[in-house]
Amino acid sequence: MQTNPQTNSELSFDDFKTEVLNDYKIAVTSRECSLLGRREVLTGKAKFGIFGDGKEIPQLAWAKAFKNGDWRSGYYRDQTFMMAIGKLTIQQFFAGLYGHTTLDADPMSAGRQMGGHFATHSLNEDGSWKNLTAQKNSSADISPTAGQMPRLLGLAQASKIFRNVKGIENKTNFSINGNEVAWGTIGNASTSEGLFWETINAAGVLQVPMVISVWDDEYGISVHARHQTTKENISEILKGFQRTEDENGYEIIRVTGWNYPELVEAYQKAGTIARDEHVPVLIHVKELTQPQGHSTSGSHERYKSEDRLAWEREFDCNVQMRQWMLANNMATEEQLAELEKDIKKQVREGKKAAWTAFLEPQKQERQEAVTLLNNLAESSSNKNFIQKIASDLAAESEPSRRDILSSTRKALRYVVAEDAVEKRQLQEWINNYFETIQPKYSAHLYSEAEENAKTISEIQPTYKDGAEEVDGRVVLRDNFDAIFSKHPEALIFGEDAGAIGDVNQGLEGMQEKYGELRVSDAGIREATILGQGIGMAMRGLRPIAEIQYLDYILYCLQIMSDDLVTVRYRTNGTQKAPLIVRTRGHRLEGIWHSGSQMGGLVHLLRGMYILVPRNMTKAAGFYNTLLESDEPALVVECLNGYRLKEKLPTNLGEFRTPIGVVETIKEGSDITLVSYGSTLRIVEEAAKELQQVGINAEIIDVQSLLPLDINKDLVESVKKTNRLLVIDEDVPGGASAYILSEIVDNQNGYQHLDSKPQTLAAKAHRPSYGTDGDYFSKPSTEDIFEKVYAMMHEANPADFPKLR
């Protein structure tokens, strides 16, 4: 081994020794945290443990190359790195393991995530952006394997945008000339995932400043690399990605994971290439170990041979660094032994402090509850039963909030027929407790800032006298033109979004006008299109990621559900990713692109808005609204509406469609018909035919599914008509059932109904091909007419004789 890492050649030997010794302290601290953390899980104090042991030394080298403004998108082994950049203390490590529900204690997520999931704060308390170039940044981790990769691509692409797009040079709280590098980490086995390959390919195409470290310890939980990777060597099979003098590609670096000076040199080289040249780099960190196995859920002794275990003990990176330090006179055996002993003590003390801080508020809450229970017991004829509950709770040495609430709520059952001040005091305390404690586990699913997207007022489109009627796609196109002119940080990308202006010409001419970086074509890779958007949105840009058809959302649904919609929630409001996802669907005559999965999206995408405009003017208004806010959304344009005629507004880029507000598009008195998107045109046709037989239907467009009817206007219609039918092209039990639940359950619409509320959905299968396939698969005008008529027949058979 060389004695000095190249980057330290200007340091004196004494200064270099000090730096190396400090690195070793961090490595030992991290390892002790892992060892003690595992014990905390096995004793039951923590619920799950997954640690960074065996990866300490390469992460120290990485931290040396990581600069202010840079970003991390990693996975749950990077605790040493977080300690090395000063973003994770011993006490914070254990607070995260215990799930302490304050950001002061656990700044990563305030107890929202398991230990090993790290983040920094991008936002001030009021939700505004911090200066991200003045700090070292980590995007919030997720557990799903390789799920961090698509976001990594977007974090890197943002630097390319900031360096090359004019008009955003003043965004210096987000970037300094695009000099920031996005650093990713992934386990060797996880490179088997499609998300890894899609991201690797996309980054090579885009040529962005991304450095991806592959931690290679030969196993994926219990499965050896021979079952994971061709040739058992990820860098070997990626040779074709290596750049040459004539072709763009990757710089590929291979390094041994226990060789400290070699690692420092490799990471400095990678950072320089990515930062200066905007070239992606892959670092294959080989010969790593995992001393405690994958996690606390299993033991690696079950699947590793004795030879392998012996090798891991010898080539443990911490052990090797220690031997190197001794061999090169960095420290004496006595100095290192004393250092290690002191660190063990620090870790034990930090663990104890974290556990004490975690329990203290719960002990105080428990004491309040016990006092109230004892008071209640004294006033009740069921004193003995209540006192038993109180004494059992008091005896809990480590009370949980579940224990506290369970005990107090059960006690109320014994006094249900009694009326005493003590009973009312306990009831009030329980209600207040829920109000105070519940947000610790539920807050920040959506923006809680005073000016969130739901508060943005509607601005109606304005028109000239005798306004021109144009294809709906022209309204969209001209509104996008206004958006890109008004918002220089806005950009759009997707399959066919660039040169041809999208498949329906809603972006016609935009690339020619605004350039290939702002209006871009992308490969057929939905997951990384979505990831590009997440990463760029996390860095202050306003990306619009276009997924060509609604059905293709399924390719990136895991990223949307696990990453995008949870960013604000899983960081307890300290990060955001206001990505707009644009797609099109509904009413196509065929199995695909038919929009039949809305119910699934509604349930899987809680945390972002799902907007379902019935025409292109409404869609354009949603884009305008979203760009005035800072929240993610999915906008589903009507696939069969681009050629339908609409008036061209004069206030393009300014009119706004309100989010979560329904619109009554026809007044009526006999029945309320609720729908959205393209289906509304069929509902309107059916309403005309119903009018001919004396049935006056009211039609309501919900406009957005998430959120749904924040003003509770739907129930007001039901109060008037006393009958309700929800029509949808989704499968039975999908979006129509979701809408019905809102009206009947949440808005208590059942109180005003004279007939059973009903839904009319598509058949349980995807729609069959062709016009006849569509007719027999999805609700038709006749289906709606007959369903409404049957409801009226049941209520008044004399006026509405049976139809069939």
Q: How far apart are CA 683 and CA 702, in angstroms?
A: 13
Distance, CA of 608 to CA of 634 (rounded, Å): 7
Q: How far apart are CA 754 and CA 551, in angstroms?
A: 38
Whole-angstrom distance, CA of residue 99 vs CA of residue 637: 41
Q: Order of strands across the sheet with 580-585?
A: 519-521, 490-494, 542-546, 580-585, 633-638, 609-611, 704-706
Residue 100 annotated among the catalytic residues of the structure: no
Q: Is 242 helix (H, G, I), strand (E, B) or coil?
A: strand
Strand order in the sheet with 671-675: 663-666, 697-701, 671-675, 724-727, 758-760
Neighbours of 161 (CB within 10 A): 23
Encoding tokens for residue 519? 């209006």
Phi, psi of 223 (to 5 degrees): -95, 120
Distance CA 77, CA 116 (A): 6
Contacts of residue 772, defined as CB under 8 A and 6 or more positions apart, other chains included, come to: none
DSSP states along 710-747: TT--HHHHHHHH--EEEE-SSPTTSHHHHHHHIIIIIS
Tell me the C-alpha distance between 672 and 662, whole Å: 13
Phi-psi region of 457 (alpha: psi -120 to 50; beta: other; left: phi over 0): beta
Active-site residue identified among 278, 294, 593, 752: 593
Distance, in Å, from the CA atom of 390 to the CA atom of 371, rounded to the nearest integer, reads 8
3-state secondary structure of 610: strand
Tell me how far apart the alpha carbons of residues 215 and 195 are, in angstroms, rounded to a whole number: 17
Nearest Cα residue to 582 out of 662, 470, 503, 485: 503
Beta strands in 261-419 (DSSP E): 281-286
542: β partners = 490
- Among 447, 116, 59, smallest CA distance to 283 is for 59
Catalytic center residues: 593
